């Protein structure tokens, strides 16, 4: 027993000693201490940051609209944010309730919607009911605010809602609905593609908008005919597709027609074209040399055609032929615009570009403008018109002068190479998809062997057109038709450069303002050059 007790006391003492050794080891850092357990901290999600890139405002049918372009940390593209300053979230909810009651109370038949002559009657029906409902929900409202809310509700009920607001933004070129599952996209002149803060409720709403657009032009979009291509308003183009053709959802693409067209002043200010190049084209167009303006999609072909058409003398008859009415010429010109027509639901009544081109030759035109040449028969008719003594100007899809010649002379268009020298000039338009800038890329002449000789080409580093070759046929053609010597041609070019510089310096940029100066150049050259040389303001 005594031995057992001794052994136990030894064990206790040895344990105490080992504990003491461990404590000393921890203090002298010979043994690592166990880490203390920390409480897990809750990680809060990162806050989304946004900063304003741009902001501006405009009026949409007397409704003040505020636009903010925002860059958000979680988004790869900026946000186009639409807000109506006079309408709070609460007011908007009440107005939506009024709109729902409005639809129930005002009974409109399909005949009323499709008949353009009854548009005022429809609006009047809505207006009476809206006034009653607004007086009910906003009894103490001012008359001015009441008119504003009436306009807003009519637009939301009869029109395309917020899409119509964006259509009134001069900076917007395209509005795109890809599906109801994502926001509407817009193409902005300054900021390129942007997402908006507007999203449709469901696919049925997209389909309703497409159907409404179809009714206005007497067309249908259904499961059997799920594609719609239409022109509305002042020439805006609309394309719509339905499920299952567009597998992700119903789509609508609006391409806006420019309300205030570009002029040569804009082109020179934005460096789209150089003054030397513009004066050369002006000289060629003055003496009725035909030209083709080519380029890729949205490169500015039609805008360029519109700009250059202001160089026509005011005493000549001009016929323009387009699918979509985009060309707008000065009021001083003798101009007849023609537009193609799609077939009706029964497949009848179609008027093609070829039909109009053939018909235009019976209208004694001095100049013929063709919106776009796409098919063999159109190209053949165009070249026949040139060979019969008409000056023709057309747009065409091609990226270089050489590609333009190849596309015209090979299938499917297949114009005989012997006919091609009837075109004196080819202009190539180019859009930098990274920056959104549009530039004249090449100016070329057509040689007698139907090959393209590039005279001027765009230099991206200098951001201007530079001369890379001398003319082999254009100057000779001008000398043949004008009787000028080379020195006289150069003198004429310098005079035109002075006029173009004058337009830029005095900020004469409207279509009629530029047209007035050009008309004066032809009819009273001495008087205009007096103003130009003294840089004196011309009375428009």
Q: For residue 519, is pLDDT > 70?
A: yes
171 against 12, higher pLDDT:
171
DSSP-derived pairing of the beta strands 291-295 and 425-431: parallel
| Domain edges within the chain | 50-255, 264-485
Q: What is the mean pLDDT of residues 86-113?
A: 65
Listed range (62-66, 73-77, 82-86) with the worst mean pLDDT: 82-86
Q: How confident is the model at residue 25 (pLDDT cuts 50, 70, 90)?
A: very low
Listed range (11-20, 78-87, 221-230) with the worst mean pLDDT: 11-20
184: which DSSP letter?
A: -
Q: For residue 443, is pLDDT > 80?
A: yes
Q: How confident is the model at residue 128 (pLDDT cuts 50, 70, 90)?
A: confident
Give the containing element (helix H, strand E) for 55. strand 50-60
- CA-nearest of 456, 499, 496 to 474 is 456
Homologous superfamily, domain 264-485: P-loop containing nucleotide triphosphate hydrolases (3.40.50.300)
Q: For residue 6, is pLDDT > 80?
A: no
The sign of the CA dihedral 23, 28, 34, 39 is positive
3-class DSSP state of 43 = coil
Most confident of 162-171, 212-221, 245-254: 245-254
| Per-residue pLDDT, 471 | 96
| Per-residue pLDDT, 43 | 52
370 against 23, higher pLDDT:
370
Tokens for 65? 């609209």
| Per-residue pLDDT, 110 | 38
Q: What is the pLDDT of residues 288-318, one digit of tens each?
A: 999 999 999 889 999 999 999 999 999 999 9
Residues 517-528, buried b or exposed e (16+ Cβ, 10 A)? bbbbbbeeeeeb
482 against 235, higher pLDDT:
482
Q: Where are the beta strands (DSSP E) in 432-516?
A: 438-446, 452-459, 464-467
DSSP structure string for 301-357:
HHHHHHHHHTTS-TTSEEEEEESS------TTSEEEEEE-B---TTS---B-HHHHH
| Per-residue pLDDT, 103 | 65
| Per-residue pLDDT, 230 | 81
Tokens for 284? 């060629």
| Per-residue pLDDT, 323 | 82
- pLDDT > 70: percent of the chain: 86
**How many whole angstroms separate alpha carbon 536 and alpha carbon 538?**
6
| Per-residue pLDDT, 156 | 72
Domains 50-255 and 264-485 share a fold: no
Q: For residue 434, is pLDDT > 60?
A: yes
Listed range (96-100, 415-419, 520-524) with the worst mean pLDDT: 96-100
**How many whole angstroms separate alpha carbon 259 and alpha carbon 261?**
6
DSSP structure string for 233-301:
TTTEEEEEE-TTTSTT--EEEEEPPPSS---HHHHHHTTSS-HHHHHHHHHHHHTT--EEEEESTTSSH
Q: How confident is the model at residue 13 (pLDDT cuts 50, 70, 90)?
A: low
What top-level class would CATH report for the domain 50-255? alpha beta
334 against 35, higher pLDDT:
334
| Per-residue pLDDT, 116 | 46
- CA-nearest of 405, 348, 337 to 370 is 337
Q: Are 430 and 296 in contact (CB under 8 A)?
A: yes
- CA-nearest of 307, 305, 274 to 290 is 305
Q: For residue 281, is pLDDT > 50?
A: yes
Q: For residue 112, is pLDDT > 60?
A: no
Strand arrangement of the beta sheet that strand 50-60 belongs to: 50-60, 63-72, 79-84, 192-196, 185-188, 172-177, 251-255, 236-241, 227-232
56 against 326, higher pLDDT:
56
| Per-residue pLDDT, 377 | 87
Q: What is the pTM of this model?
A: 0.76
Q: What is the mean pLDDT of residues 373-391?
A: 90
**How many whole angstroms separate alpha carbon 96 and alpha carbon 149?**
11
State the average pLDDT for the chain: 85
Tokens for 11? 């064990």
Listed range (17-31, 164-178, 511-525) with the worst mean pLDDT: 17-31
| Per-residue pLDDT, 141 | 80
Tokens for 434? 């990274």
- pLDDT > 90: percent of the chain: 57
Listed range (50-64, 305-319, 517-531) with the worst mean pLDDT: 50-64
| Per-residue pLDDT, 305 | 95
**How many whole angstroms separate alpha carbon 428 and alpha carbon 435?**
18
């Amino acid at each position: 027993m005594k031995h057992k007790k001794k052994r136990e006391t030894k064990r206790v003492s040895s344990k105490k000693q080992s504990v003491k050794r461990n404590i000393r080891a921890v203090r002298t850092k010979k043994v690592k201490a166990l880490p203390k357990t920390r409480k897990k901290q809750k990680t809060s999600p990162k806050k989304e940051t946004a900063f304003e890139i741009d902001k501006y405002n405009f009026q949409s049918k007397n409704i003040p609209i505020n636009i903010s372009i925002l860059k958000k940390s979680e988004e790869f593209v900026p946000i186009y944010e639409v807000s109506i300053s006079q309408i709070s979230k609460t007011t908007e909810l009440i107005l939506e309730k009024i709109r729902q009651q409005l639809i129930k109370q005002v009974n409109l038949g399909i005949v009323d919607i499709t008949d353009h002559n009854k548009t005022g009657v429809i609006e009047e029906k809505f207006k009476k009911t809206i006034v009653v409902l607004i007086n009910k929900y906003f009894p103490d409202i001012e008359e001015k605010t009441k008119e504003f809310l009436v306009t807003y509700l009519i637009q939301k009920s009869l029109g395309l809602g917020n899409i119509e607001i964006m259509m009134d933004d001069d900076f917007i070129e395209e509005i795109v609905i890809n599906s109801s599952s994502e926001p509407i996209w817009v193409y902005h002149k300054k900021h390129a593609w942007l997402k908006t803060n507007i999203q449709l409720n469901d696919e049925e709403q997209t389909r309703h908008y497409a159907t409404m657009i179809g009714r206005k032009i007497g067309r249908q979009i259904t499961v059997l005919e799920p594609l719609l291509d239409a022109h509305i308003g002042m020439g805006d183009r609309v394309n719509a597709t339905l499920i299952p053709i567009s597998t992700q959802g119903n789509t609508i693409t609006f391409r806006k027609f420019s309300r205030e067209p570009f002029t040569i002043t804009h082109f020179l200010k934005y460096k789209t074209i150089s003054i030397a190049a513009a004066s050369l084209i002006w000289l060629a167009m003055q003496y009725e040399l035909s030209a083709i303006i080519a380029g890729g999609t949205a490169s500015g072909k039609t805008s360029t055609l519109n700009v250059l058409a202001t160089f026509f003398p005011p005493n000549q008859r001009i016929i323009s032929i387009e699918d979509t009415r985009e060309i707008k010429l000065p009021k001083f010109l003798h101009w007849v615009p023609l537009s193609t027509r799609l077939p009706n639901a029964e497949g009848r009544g179609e008027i093609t570009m070829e039909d109009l081109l053939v018909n235009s030759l019976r209208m004694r035109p001095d100049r013929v403008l063709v919106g776009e040449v796409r098919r063999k028969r159109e190209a053949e008719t165009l070249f026949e018109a040139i060979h019969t003594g008409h000056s023709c100007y057309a747009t065409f899809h091609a990226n270089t002068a050489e590609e333009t010649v190849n596309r015209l002379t090979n299938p499917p268009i297949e114009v005989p190479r012997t006919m091609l020298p009837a075109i004196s000039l080819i202009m190539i338009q180019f859009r930098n998809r990274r920056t959104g800038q549009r530039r004249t890329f090449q100016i070329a002449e057509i040689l007698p062997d139907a090959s393209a000789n590039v005279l001027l080409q765009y230099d991206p580093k200098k951001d201007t057109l530079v001369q890379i070759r001398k003319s082999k046929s254009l100057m000779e053609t001008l000398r043949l038709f004008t009787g000028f010597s080379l020195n006289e041609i150069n003198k004429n070019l310098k005079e035109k450069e002075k006029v173009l510089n004058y337009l830029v310096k005095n900020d004469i940029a409207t279509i009629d303002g530029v047209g007035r100066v050009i008309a004066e150049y032809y009819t009273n050259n001495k008087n205009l050059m007096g103003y130009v040389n003294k840089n004196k303001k011309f009375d428009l």
